[in-house]
Amino acid sequence: MIHPDPIISCELPVIQRIIQDETWLEGERRGCFVMAEDPLVQEHVCQVIFRIGWELRQSIMEQLAVNPEAAMQSMKEPDSKRAA
C-alpha cells in the first residue's frame, strides 16, 4: 500500500516483516500455528515498534534525503529481491 507520506510508505514493509517474525516466533514458542491477530503477537509487535520506531523513522528519513528514488524503489521490491 502506498501512503501519501513517503516515510510511512517505507515503514510499512518493515512493520509487515516484524509482524511475520513475531507470528513465527510465537508459533515456535507454543509449538503450533498462531495467527497474526493473536493478542500476544500484537503485543510483541507493538513492543518491537515502540523499541525501534524512532531509529526506523530516522533511518528512512536519511535514506529519503540522500536518494529518494532508490528508497522508494526498494520499498516496492518484493522481499526476495531485496535479500538477493
Is 58 part of any domain? yes
Q: What's the whole-number mean pLDDT along residues 64-81?
A: 64
Question: Which residue is associated with the grid cell 515503514?
Answer: 11
- Split into its structural domains, the chain has a count of 1
25 or 80, higher pLDDT: 25
| pLDDT score of 26 | 97
Residue with cell 495467527: 35
Look at residue 30 and tell me if it is in a domain.
yes
Residue 2 lies in a domain: no
* C-beta pairs of 63-69 under 8 Å, 24+ apart in sequence: 63/10, 64/6, 64/7, 64/10, 68/6
Helix, strand and coil percent figures for the chain, each rounded to 5: 80, 0, 20
Residue with the bigger pLDDT between 38 and 78: it is 38
- Domain with 77 in it: 13-83
Q: Please indicate, yes or no, if residue 50 is contained in any of the structural domains.
A: yes
Query: What per-residue confidence (pLDDT) applies to 83?
Result: 46
* pLDDT above 90 for 22: yes
